[in-house]
Structure 1
Amino acid sequence: MCTFVIFNPQRKRSVVQRNNPIISSSVPRSLHLLYCYCNRALNDETNISMICEEGFFDDQYEILVHLEDIIPFYHLDPITANCIVIYMWHLYKKLKTYNNVHKIRFVNPHIIPYVACVTRLDKNSKFEQLNERASVLADKLSQASRNQLVLVPHNVGYHWILTVIDPYKETVYLLDSLSHRIRDEDWKYVVDMSIRLFNSNKAKKGKKHVTWEVVKGPRQPDAKQCGFYVMRYMRDIIEELATIERDSLRSIFIKPQYSREEIDEVRYEWAECIQDYIYD
C-alpha cells in the first residue's frame, strides 16, 4: 500500500507521454517494478513525497517525485534535477552508514539553476545573474568544513556536469562526460567568484587564481546519459574516498566509458531509494 502519495496543486506540469510498461531484460528489476507502479498510481496531480533529514541540504528537505521524473529515468533519456537529488539522498545515507558525512557536502542543483546567456547589449544584467548564482554557491561553500569536498551537479544547458570543490584549497575538479575541457565560461566565472566570496566570508587571503583541474573521466556513449554519468561520478567518489585522500581525485577515473552494468547499478539503487517511501 502506498503511504506517501500526495497532491501538489502548485507545480506546473509538463505533458508526459505514458509508455506501456513492457518488461526489458536490460532494465534493473527494481526500476521496472517502480516504473509499472508509477504508470498506474501517479498522474499530473499526484507525486511521491520523500522527506530527507536535516544535514542533507541543511534544513529538512522534501523531494517530490513525479511521473515526469520516472519515465525518462527508466528509458535512459535526459533526466531531471529531481532524479539527481534522489540519488544524492541515497549517497548521503550511504555516507552516514560509514560515518563519512564529514567528508562530503552536497549542493542542491535546484538552487543554482542554469541561466541562458544574455546578449552583449545586456551585459550588466548577465553579470548580475552570474553574481547572484555565485553568492548562493559561496553560502554553501561557507558551510563546508576543512578537507570536505563539495559536490555540485550543475546543468549548463541541456547537459549535466559535476563540479567538485575543495574551497579551503581553492581547487576545483571538473567532470564533464562530453568533454575534457572547460566549455562553459559562465559557470567557471560563477565558481571562481563563489570561492572569492568564500574567502571574503572567512576573512581569508586567497590565491591569485583558483586552481582548475579537468578530470578525464568516463565519457557518455550518446547524447542522453550525462545525468547518469554525473550520478556514477558521485558514487565513485564516495566509494573511493580512501584512495582520493591517499592519491588524488583523478586517480579513480581511469576508464574511457562506464559499462551498462555500472550505469544499471545506479539505476537499481535509485529505484530502491524511492521504493522505501512507497511501501510500509
Structure 2
Amino acid sequence: MPPPLVALCQFIQTKLKPTNETVRVHIPEEVFGTDHDTFLLCEHILQFASMIEIGSTIIVVYMRYLFDYLKMTNMVNLVVLVDPGQVSTQSRTLSYCSKHLSDRMKQADGDQFYLVPYNPGGHWV
C-alpha cells in the first residue's frame, strides 16, 4: 500500500472509527442534477484502501472528484454524470431508475457522453 494510503488508514482507525465519525461530501446540483450531501463511513474508506469491492457511495465521491477535474480542464460540458444510487435496482424500482435516467438525459445536450455506473448484481449499495 502506498505510504499516503497507509497514513489515511491509520488516521481512520485511530481518529474517526473510535468516535463513529463520518466524512461529509457535498454534491452540488451541477454534478448529478440535485444538490445533496453524501456521507462516507470509516468502513467505506477502509474498503476502498484495501481493494475490497466498493459500493455506490465511494463511486459517487469519485464522480464528484471527476466532475471537479473535468471542470478544471474545461471539459465538463462533454460529460453527463448519473448518480449510481439513483439507477441501482438494489435500492430502487426499475420504473424509478428508468424515469430518473430518462429525466437526466432530457436535461443534457445531445453531444454529451453519459457516465452511468452500472453493476447488474453481486454488490451492495
* Both structures adopt the same fold (TM-score exceeding 0.5): yes
Distance change in 2, residues 1:101/1:156 (3 Å)? same
1:61 partner letter: H
Other-structure match for 1:191:
none
Other-structure match for 1:248:
none
Q: Aligned pair 1:42/2:16, yes or no?
A: yes
Q: Could you give the per-residue CA deviations for residues 63-87 of structure 1, whole angstroms, max 9, x where no partner exists?
A: 2111120111111111111111111
Correspondent of 1:70 among 45, 48, 52: 45
Secondary structure of the 1:154 match is: coil
Instruction: Using the TM superposition, give the Cα deviation of residue 159 of structure 1 relative to its aligned residue in structure 2, in angstroms.
Output: 5.0
Q: Could you give the per-residue CA deviations for residues 17-41 of structure 1, whole angstroms, max 9, x where no partner exists?
A: xxxxxxxxxx233222211111122
Percentage of matched positions with identical amino acids: 28
CA distance in 2, matches of 1:83, 1:70: 8
Other-structure match for 1:218:
none
Q: Aligned pair 1:152/2:116, yes or no?
A: yes
Other-structure match for 2:69:
94
Matches within 5 A, 1:232-251: none
Structure 2: runs of 5 or more not aligned:
none
Secondary structure of the 2:31 match is: strand
Q: Could you give the per-residue CA deviations for residues 199-240 of structure 1, whole angstroms, max 9, x where no partner exists?
A: xxxxxxxxxxxxxxxxxxxxxxxxxxxxxxxxxxxxxxxxxx
Other-structure match for 1:177:
none
How many corresponding residue pairs?
A: 122
Structure 1: runs of 5 or more not aligned:
1-26, 117-128, 161-280
Q: CA RMSD in A?
A: 2.1
Q: Contact conserved, 1:35 with 1:74, CA < 8 A, in 2?
A: yes
Instruction: Using the TM superposition, give the Cα deviation of residue 46 of structure 1 relative to its aligned residue in structure 2, in angstroms.
Output: 1.8
Query: Higher strand proportion, which one?
Result: 1
Distance change in 2, residues 1:93/1:144 (3 Å)? same
2:77 partner letter: H
Give the structure with higher Rg (CA): 1
Distance change in 2, residues 1:28/1:86 (3 Å)? farther
Q: Contact conserved, 1:114 with 1:155, CA < 8 A, in 2?
A: no
CA distance in 1, matches of 2:9, 2:23: 13
CA distance in 1, matches of 2:12, 2:103: 36
Query: Higher helix proportion, which one?
Result: 2
Q: Normalising by structure 1, what TM-score? A: 0.40
Q: Normalising by structure 2, what TM-score? A: 0.85
Q: Contact conserved, 2:56 with 2:85, CA < 8 A, in 1?
A: yes
Q: Could you give the per-residue CA deviations for residues 32-65 of structure 1, whole angstroms, max 9, x where no partner exists?
A: 2211111122237420112233311223231211
Other-structure match for 2:106:
142
